[in-house]
Amino acid sequence: MNRAHLIVLYVFFSALVSASTAWANAPEPSMPKLRSSSVLVLDPEQDRPLYAKNPTSITPIASITKLMTAMVVLDAQLPLDERLMIDEADIDTIKGSQSRLRPGSELSRRELLRLALMSSENRAAAALGRNYPGGVSAFVEAMNAKALLVGMTQSHFADATGLSSDNVATAQDLARMVIAAADYPLIREYSTAVSYSVEVPPYRHPLDYRNTNGLVKSAAWEISLSKTGFIREAGRCLVMMATIASRPVVIVLLDSFGKNSRIGDANRIKRWMEASLNPAPAKSRSRPLQRGTRYSANTITTRRV
């Protein structure tokens, strides 16, 4: 090797070392300031919390409950094309929430499941629980049994809708529930659908429904599971499984102050992760989230960061 070649190699390796040193010494992005009272951002592949704020506080979870409702319905392997009727018993007497599904309306179990997950339709969720073998009490018992099965030791379920403030959990437990729910293809599909139209007699025209999480239609997000929730006692809530900076992540946001703050918090987490992670090493450490990927729901450990 001649002198010219040695000089070229010296310059190349000097530049490489300088770049590596600059990256290593670059200041880390500051932790995001979030408006949710309880937060957990979890890497499910490495079983590692990336961000935690009051992750073990027990709080009402509102319609996040419907993820458990969906798992219990699907576990029972009830016929999804069976037609079920909305009943007076499905009307919300707890919060007085409204619904376009009138008593007497008939939909398939599949349609009810889709509306419960995508648009958080309370009468749809109530009808699913009421038509479970053994009725509502057996359904709630199955919800709590499933919660223990997936490691939700600080949770309790009281109804299929989440309208009762007795539906409670921690952010840590909800991360377990999200991971467990991601094993169900229909839950992933229905919870991330942008919209859906359904024929409901006696309406002349189809009823149009939209996802309660506007982020599912954003090109900037890659979301594989989603659920929102709100009652006064719970505040604004949001759980998601998404891919950010080529890494799968579970996001749990509970009791977020302000109508749009849970969406703002999710976007702040996304920007923080993208700024914190070097895309190249991240790809070598973990693969992007794939539909059907299975994660353990029972081994999450949480520490404050």
Q: What percent of the chain is predicted at pLDDT more than 70? A: 81
**Best CA proximity match to 238, nearest among 178, 156, 166, 286:** 178
Cα(110)–Cα(123) distance, rounded to whole angstroms? 14
Q: Is 108 one of the catalytic residues?
A: no
Per-residue model confidence (pLDDT) at position 305: 33
The DSSP symbol for 31 reads P
Contact 193, 212 (CB under 8 A): no
The kind and range of the H/E element at 252 are strand 247-256
For 282, residues 6+ apart whose C-beta sits below 8 A from its C-beta are: 245, 246, 247
Per-residue model confidence (pLDDT) at position 204: 85
**Best CA proximity match to 64, nearest among 113, 110, 116, 132:** 116
Does residue 10 have a pLDDT over 90? no
Question: What confidence category does residue 40 fall into, taking pLDDT thresholds of 50, 70 and 90?
Answer: very high
Per-residue model confidence (pLDDT) at position 17: 36
- Catalytic residue, from 120, 164, 191, 224: name it: 120
Q: Is 66 one of the catalytic residues?
A: yes
Per-residue model confidence (pLDDT) at position 278: 57
The residue behind tokens 């500051």 is 30
Q: How many CB atoms lie within 10 A of CB 83?
A: 11
For the domain covering 29-285, report its CATH number.
Answer: 3.40.710.10
pLDDT (tens digit, 9 = 90+) per residue, 71-95?
999 999 999 999 999 999 999 999 9
Question: Average pLDDT in the 190-201 region?
Answer: 95
Does residue 121 have a pLDDT over 50? yes
How is the chain split into domains, by residue range?
29-285
pLDDT (tens digit, 9 = 90+) per residue, 285-302?
444 444 444 444 544 444
- Catalytic residue, from 63, 119, 155, 246: name it: 63
Does residue 282 have a pLDDT over 60? no
* Stated length of the chain: 305
Does residue 143 have a pLDDT over 60? yes
Cα(273)–Cα(281) distance, rounded to whole angstroms? 14
pLDDT (tens digit, 9 = 90+) per residue, 205-224?
999 999 999 999 999 999 99
If phi over 0 gives left and psi between -120 and 50 gives alpha, with beta otherwise, what is residue 109?
alpha
Mean pLDDT (the chain) is 86
Q: Is 63 one of the catalytic residues?
A: yes
- Catalytic residue, from 36, 38, 66, 191: name it: 66
Contact 101, 126 (CB under 8 A): no
Question: Average pLDDT in the 124-142 region?
Answer: 98
The kind and range of the H/E element at 43 are strand 36-43
Per-residue model confidence (pLDDT) at position 173: 98
